C-alpha cells in the first residue's frame, strides 16, 4: 500500500497506528489521503471519519 501510494513505509505505518509522531495523533495531508483512496479505489469519503472531530478541543 505504501509503495503504491508513494508514501514512505514509516509514514504509512504511523497512519495505521493513528500517529504522526509518538506524542501526536495523526493529521495526514489531503494529498496523502487522496493517494490512499486512489490505491484502494474508493471515494475519499470512505476513508474519512463519519463524525467530524472537535477541532476546538485542546
54 is a domain residue: no
Q: What is the C-alpha to C-alpha distance for residues 42 and 57, in angstroms, rounded to an integer?
A: 30
55 is a domain residue: no
2 is a domain residue: no
pLDDT in the model for residue 52:
79
Total structural domains within the chain = 1
| Cβ(36)–Cβ(47) below 8 Å | yes
Q: How confident is the model at residue 51 (pLDDT cuts 50, 70, 90)?
A: confident
Q: How confident is the model at residue 1 (pLDDT cuts 50, 70, 90)?
A: confident
Host H or E run for residue 20:
strand 19-21
Give the predicted TM-score (pTM) of the model: 0.75
More confident residue, 43 or 28: 43
Domain enclosing residue 24, as ranges: 9-47
39 is a domain residue: yes
- Give me the residue label for grid cell 477541532: 55
Q: What is the C-alpha to C-alpha distance for residues 43 and 13, in angstroms, rounded to an integer?
A: 21
pLDDT at 20 over 70: no
41 is a domain residue: yes
1 is a domain residue: no
| Cβ(15)–Cβ(32) below 8 Å | yes
Cell digits for 40? 484502494
Amino acid at each position: 500500500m505504501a509503495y503504491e501510494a508513494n508514501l514512505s513505509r514509516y509514514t504509512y505505518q504511523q497512519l495505521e497506528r493513528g500517529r504522526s509522531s509518538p506524542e501526536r495523533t495523526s493529521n495526514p495531508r489531503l494529498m496523502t489521503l487522496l493517494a490512499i483512496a486512489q490505491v484502494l479505489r474508493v471515494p475519499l469519503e470512505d476513508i474519512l471519519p463519519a463524525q467530524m472531530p472537535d477541532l476546538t478541543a485542546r
